[in-house]
Amino acid sequence: MIAQDVRWLQVENSTKCNAWCPACARNNDGYGLSPNLTIEDLDLVKFEQVLQSFPNLQTVQFCGTYGDFAAAANATQHLKLSQQYADYIQIHTHGGIRNTAWWSDLAHQLKSHKHNVWFALDGLKGVHEIYRQGTDFNKTIDNAQAFIAAGGHATWQFIPWAHNEHQLMDCMRLSQQLGFKQFRMVKNVRDKFEGRHWQTGNTIEFAPWSKNQKFSKYQVIGIKTHVEKSNCMHLSLPSVYLNANGTLSSCCEFNTADSHSTFNQLPDIQHEHATNPRLKCLLSCGSVATSQDGCSE
């Protein structure tokens, strides 16, 4: 893949966030920041240089691995730059940052552009906050309503767990009442895992949705040995990932010290997966080998 092929740019515009989600890479299972985390916002000059390097870019997706789009001090400037170079803007956020006036202004800025803002809402008041630690359901709803009322296109994003599955239909109904255009369930790839309470450090057990085995194609039996297009956005789309420090990599899982600021230095992700699959990639997006995948001994 060459720079002219890239159509989709995933952007980490900040490593700042006020949430303490236990599975997030920015913290220690929900309790305390990772010692390797650098707190920063994406530099506007670097961002524009990257945007200019992809002449056929169609989509800019603000989807953070370490931070939230709205947490960046220069988030609106990031958006304005993106609108100059891409036809479609997608934003993923927990929506609990900023106030209703800011979200209303964001909708007005996006009105002339094809867009979709995904608000992460994993249950109703008191349940949503079990995983989205440090956030407030009511504040997110208020911000989402302000965005929708100002003409914004919003999606309710819901990760099903054992602790929130009883509220799934209620969340669907509420999303329709509030004017969300879509309700999207995000696959939970974990069988179960332990997190920590963001204030006390106490262990919290997260169990999967009871129907998760049928719902998620990622739920498999055996050792994950490879990554394929059906499970990897960056293999199925001509896309790359931009870190908040201004470096490019093949995807967020390849966001390492060997990432670079110029596209022509990027590793070939397909070759990397075939010859040196990263453990994190296999755990997050991997598949189990079958007899068609080669030697099955």
Helices 100-110, 75-85: inter-axial angle, 10-degree rounding = 10
pLDDT at 267 over 90: no
Domain boundaries, the chain: 3-217+233-267
User: Which range among 27-36, 213-222, 232-241 shows the weakest confidence by mean pLDDT?
Assistant: 213-222
Q: Which of 136, 182, 179 is nearest to 157 (CA)?
A: 182
Percent of the chain with pLDDT over 70: 77
Token pair 């879509």 is found at: 182
DSSP 187-212: P---S-EEEE-TTT--EEEE-B-TTH
Spatial CA neighbour of 10 closest among 239, 262, 284: 239
- Asked if residues 260 and 248 have their Cβ atoms less than 8 Å apart, the reply is yes
Closest CA to 170 of 128, 205, 198, 204: 128
Distances (CA, A) of 77 to 48, 73, 109, 182, 297: 11, 9, 11, 27, 54
Identity of the residue numbered 246: G
pLDDT digits (tens, 9 = 90+) for 43-98: 999 999 999 999 999 999 999 889 999 999 999 999 999 999 999 999 999 999 99
For the chain, give the longest Cα–Cα distance: 61
Whether 63 contacts 94, CB under 8 Å: no
Mean pLDDT (the chain, rounded): 85
Q: In this predicted structure, which of 16-25, 32-41, 197-206, 283-292 has the lowest mean pLDDT? A: 283-292
Structure tokens at 258: 């060997």
Give the CA dihedral 19, 20, 22, 28, nearest 10 degrees: 140
What pLDDT digit, counting tens, does each position of 135-183 carry?
999 999 999 999 999 999 999 999 999 999 999 999 999 999 999 999 9
Contacts of 28 (CB under 8 A, 6+ apart): 34, 196
Band (pLDDT 50/70/90 cuts) for residue 239 is confident
Please report the pLDDT score of residue 217 as a whole number. 46
Q: Shortest CA distance to 91 belongs to which of 113, 99, 235, 100? A: 113
Query: Are the beta carbons of 225 and 293 closer than 8 angstroms?
Result: yes
Asked if the model's pLDDT at residue 13 lies above 50, the reply is yes
Pick the CATH number of 3-217+233-267 from 3.10.20.310, 3.40.50.1240, 3.20.20.70, 3.40.190.10: 3.20.20.70
Whether pLDDT at 285 is above 90: no
Instruction: Tell me the mean pLDDT in the region 251-271.
Output: 60
Q: 124 is written with which tokens?
A: 């109703």
